[in-house]
């Protein structure tokens, strides 16, 4: 065995026979692929100072969670010619496992900021719905009683408008990451 390191699923192993696999407890193989099928690695921050790894292959993608940086470096050493992409951040649009996301916004500036960031990370808007804010009768009546009716000249109390966006991965991102 060339490599045998712990991960959330069990153990990530590289065998002398040229096989990369994840074995659960009691050596139950969860998945395995030939080492020559591996095309690149993508890492992103995981829990408790670990990284989550996506292994891109000619046969699709495999995921390994909670590898220490040191153990990931040991894996990389066995694949010196492979490209590794490191994704920083924990915002939803950085999650390489996610293919759809639904977000509701009441702040237009925050919405614009996330739409722009998501587009840079392979997302596009598939759908949009809007819900106008409603008049809050309780707050409006309280305002009228407390101000003797003068507060009614400033208008009724309304909640903020809400916009719900549905994000999906772009076809280009799916093709590049071998998703279908």
Q: Are residues 128 and 60 in the same domain?
A: no
Q: What is the mean pLDDT of residues 119-148?
A: 71
Query: pLDDT per residue over 146-161, tens digit each?
Result: 565 555 555 555 566 8
Question: Residue 180: is its pLDDT beyond 50?
Answer: no
* Confidence grade of residue 178 (pLDDT, cut at 50, 70, 90): low
Q: Are residues 9 and 71 in the same domain?
A: yes
User: Percentage of the chain surpassing pLDDT 90?
Assistant: 44
Q: Are residues 22 and 77 in the same domain?
A: yes
Query: pLDDT per residue over 28-71, tens digit each?
Result: 999 999 999 999 998 888 888 899 998 989 988 898 999 999 99
Instruction: Please tell me the pTM assigned to this model.
Output: 0.59
What would the DSSP string read from start to end of 93-144? GG-TT--EEEEEES-HHHHHHHHHHHHHTTEEEEEEEEE---B-HHHHHHHH
Domain total of the chain = 2
Tell me, yes or no, whether 8 lies in a domain.
yes
Last residue of one domain, picked from the residues 38, 67, 89: 89
Q: Are residues 78 and 104 in the same domain?
A: no
Q: Are residues 79 and 143 in the same domain?
A: no
Token reading at 131: 């819900």
Range of the domain at 113: 100-173
Q: Are residues 122 and 56 in the same domain?
A: no
Tell me, yes or no, whether 94 lies in a domain.
no
């Amino acid at each position: 065995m060339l490599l045998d390191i712990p991960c959330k699923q069990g153990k990530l192993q590289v065998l002398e026979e040229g096989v990369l696999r994840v074995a659960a407890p009691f050596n139950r193989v969860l998945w395995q692929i030939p080492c020559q099928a591996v095309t690149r690695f993508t890492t992103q921050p995981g829990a408790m100072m670990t990284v989550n790894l996506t292994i891109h292959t000619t046969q699709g993608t495999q995921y390994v969670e909670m590898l220490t940086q040191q153990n990931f470096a040991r894996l990389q050493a066995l694949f010196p010619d492979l490209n590794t992409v490191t994704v920083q951040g924990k915002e939803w649009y950085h999650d390489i496992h996610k293919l759809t996301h639904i977000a509701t916004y009441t702040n237009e500036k925050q919405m614009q900021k996330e739409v722009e960031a998501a587009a840079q990370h392979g997302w596009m808007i598939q759908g949009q719905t809007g819900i106008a804010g409603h008049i809050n009768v309780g707050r409006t009546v309280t305002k009228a009683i407390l101000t003797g009716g003068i507060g009614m000249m400033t208008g009724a109390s309304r909640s903020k408008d809400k916009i719900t966006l549905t994000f999906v991965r772009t076809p280009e991102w799916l093709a590049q990451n071998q998703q279908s």
